[in-house]
Structure 1
Amino acid sequence: MKFTSSLSAISIAAIGAVSFANADCQMSGGNYYCSKAEAIVYSDVGYSGSYMDVSFMDENSCSCSQSSVQVSGSLAPLDEELSVHFRGPVRLLQFGVYYPAGNSNLNKRDEDDVDCVQTVQKHQHKRDVAVQYVEVTSTVYVNGNGESVTSATAVPKAPGNPETGLVSSYTYVNTILSPSQTDSPSSAAASTTSLSPSPSSSSSSSTGSSSSAPASSSPASSNSGSTGSWVRSSYFQPGSASNCVFMNHQGGTAGSGTWSSCFGNSISFAGSDGLSGASSPQALNDVTIASGKEYMIFSGTECSGDSCGYHRENIPAYHGFGGSDKIFVFEFSMPSDTAGSGYNQDMPAIWLLNAKVPRTLQYGNSDCSCWKTGCGEMDLFEILTAGSDKLISHIHSGQGSNGQSSGGGGSQDYFTRPSSGTLKAAVIFNGSDKSVHIVEVDEDFEAELSSSTVSSWLNSAGSNAQML
Structure 2
Amino acid sequence: MKNTIVAALAASITGVTAWGDASLAQDTNGNNYRNAVKGMTIDNVAGSGTYPRVDFMDPATGQCSQTPQGYSGPLGPLADEISAHIRGPANLKRFAVYTAQPPKKKRSESSHLRKHRRHAHGKRHEELKKRGCGDIVTATMPGSGAVFSFTWTEGCAGAAAPTPAPEAPAAAAPAPAAASPSPAPEAKVASYSSSDNFISGSWSRVGFYDAAAQKKEGVTFLNNKGAEGISGGWTMALGNSLSYASADGCNPAENDTILADTTIASVEEFSIWSDKVCGPNGGDCGYYRPDTVAHHGFGGVQKAFVFEFTMPHRPQDPAGPAQDMPAIWFLNAQNPRTSQYGPVTCKPWPGSGEADVFETLAPGEKRAIAAIHGNTGFQAGNVDYFDRPTDAPIIFAAVFMDSKLHLKVLDSFDFGAGSGPSMIDQVRSSTVSGAVDVSIASVY
TM-score calculated relative to the size of structure 1: 0.67
Q: Check whether the contact 2:219–2:273 (CA below 8 A) recurs between aligned residues.
A: yes
> After the TM superposition, which residues 358-437 of structure 1 pair with which residues of structure 2 at under 5 Å, given as runs?
358-372=336-350, 374-400=351-377, 408-431=379-402, 434-437=403-406
Tell which structure's C-alpha radius of gyration is larger: 2
Deviations 1:18-62 (A, max 9, x none): x321x3534443211111111120111111111111111124542
Partner residue of 1:439 out of 408, 412, 415: 408
- Report the AA paired with residue 321 of structure 1: F
TM-aligned CA deviation for residue 101 of structure 1: 4.3
User: Quick one: distance in 2 between partners of 1:467 and 1:395?
Assistant: 15
Please, what is the CA RMSD of the aligned residues?
2.8
Larger mean Cα displacement after TM superposition, 390-399 or 443-452 = 443-452
CA contact (8 A) 1:12 1:31 kept: no
Q: Distance in 2 between matches of 1:73 and 1:321?
A: 17
Moved over 4 A (4+): 9-12, 101-109
For 1:57 and 1:332, the matched residues in 2 are separated by 36
Structure 1's 396 and 462: CA in aligned 2 closer, same or farther, altered over 3 A?
A: closer
Question: How many angstroms does 1:461 deviate by?
Answer: 4.8
SS of 2:270 mapped into structure 1 = strand
Contact kept in structure 2, 1:269 and 1:316, CA below 8 Å = yes
Q: Which residue in 1 is equivalent to 2:242? A: 267
Q: Does the 8 Å contact 1:244/1:297 carry over to 2?
A: yes
Q: Which AA in structure 2 matches 1:93?
A: K
1:455 aligns with 2:430: no
Against the structure 1 CA distance between its residues 275 and 15, is the aligned structure 2 distance closer, same or farther, given a 3 Å change threshold?
same
User: Which amino acid is the alignment partner of residue 399 of structure 2?
Assistant: I
- What letter corresponds to residue 46 of structure 2 in structure 1? G
Q: How does 1:225-240 map to 2 (within 5 A)?
A: 225-238=198-211, 239-240=214-215
Q: Deviations over 1:105-140 (max 9, x none)?
A: 69669xxxxxxxxxxxxxxxxxxxxxxxxxxxxxxx
Q: Tell me how far apart the structure 2 counterparts of residues 249 and 108 of structure 1 sit (CA, whole Å).
A: 24
Q: Percent same amino acid among aligned pairs? A: 37
1-structure distance, mates of 2:248, 2:75: 34
AA partner of residue 338 (structure 2): T
Structure 2 distance, partners of 1:436, 1:64, is 33
Amino acid at match of 1:456: Q
Alpha-carbon contact 1:14-1:409 (below 8 Å) kept: no
Candidates 343, 353, 358, aligned match of 2:321: 343
Query: 2 CA distance for matches of 1:254 and 1:392?
Result: 39
**Structure 1 gap ranges (5+):** 1-6, 110-221, 401-406
Of the structure 1 ranges 287-296 and 235-244, higher mean CA displacement relative to structure 2 is found in 235-244
Q: Matches of 1:421 and 1:107 in 2, distance apart?
A: 35
From 307, 313, 317, the counterpart of 2:284: 307
Question: How far does residue 342 in structure 1 lie from its aligned partner after superposition?
Answer: 2.2
SS of match in other structure, 2:266:
coil
Distance 1:467 1:424, change over 3 A: closer
Note if contact 1:336-1:346 (Cα within 8 Å) is conserved in structure 2: yes
The one-letter code matched in structure 2 to 1:348 is: P
Q: Distance in 2 between matches of 1:20 and 1:439?
A: 24
Q: 1:64 & 1:446 partners in 2: Cα distance?
A: 43
Deviations, residues 203-260 of structure 1 (Å, cap 9, x unaligned): xxxxxxxxxxxxxxxxxxx823432442210011112221111011121155210111
| Structure 2 match to 1:73 | 73
Relative to structure 1, is the Cα distance of residues 267 and 64 closer, same or farther in structure 2, using a 3 angstrom cutoff? same
Aligned residues: 336
Gaps of 5+ in 2: 1-9, 104-139, 146-194, 434-441
Seen in structure 2, the aligned counterparts of structure 1 residues 107 and 276 have a Cα distance that, compared at 3 Å, is closer
Contact 1:82–1:352, Cα closer than 8 Å, also in 2: yes
The amino acid across from 1:289 in the alignment is I
| 1:334 maps to 2:311 | yes
Letter in 2 for 1:355: A
In the alignment, residue 242 of structure 2 is paired with which amino acid? I
Question: 2:85: which partner in 1?
Answer: 85
Which secondary structure does the structure 1 equivalent of 2:412 belong to?
A: coil
Whole-Å separation in 1 of the counterparts to 2:14 and 2:299: 27
Amino acid at match of 2:308: E
User: Structure 1: how far apart are the matches of 2:143 and 2:333?
Assistant: 19
Measured at CA, do residues 233 and 102 of structure 1 come closer, stay the same or move farther in structure 2, by a change above 3 Å? farther
Match of 1:292 in 2: 267
Please state if 1:324 is matched with 2:301. Answer: yes
* Matched letter for residue 435 of structure 1: K
Contact 1:99 1:106 in 2 (8 A): no
Please tell me whether the aligned partners of residues 327 and 427 of structure 1 are also in contact (alpha carbons under 8 angstroms): yes
2-side partners of 1:448 and 1:106: how far apart?
22
SS at match of 1:236: strand
Deviation readout 1:126-175 (Å, 9 max, x if unpaired): xxxxxxxxxxxxxxxxxxxxxxxxxxxxxxxxxxxxxxxxxxxxxxxxxx
TM-score (norm 2): 0.70
CA distance in 2, matches of 1:294, 1:250: 10
The 3 A distance-change label for structure 1 pair 329 and 277 is same
Change in Cα spacing, 1:364 to 1:230, as seen in structure 2 (3 Å) is same
- For 2:87 and 2:331, the matched residues in 1 are separated by 13
The whole-number CA distance in structure 1 between the counterparts of 2:409 and 2:210 is: 19
Q: Evaluate the alpha carbon distance shift between residue 11 and residue 85 of structure 1 in structure 2; reply closer, same or farther with a 3 A threshold.
A: farther
1:243 aligns with 2:218: yes
1:100 and 1:106 mapped to 2: Cα distance? 14
Deviation at 1:439, TM superposition (A): 0.9
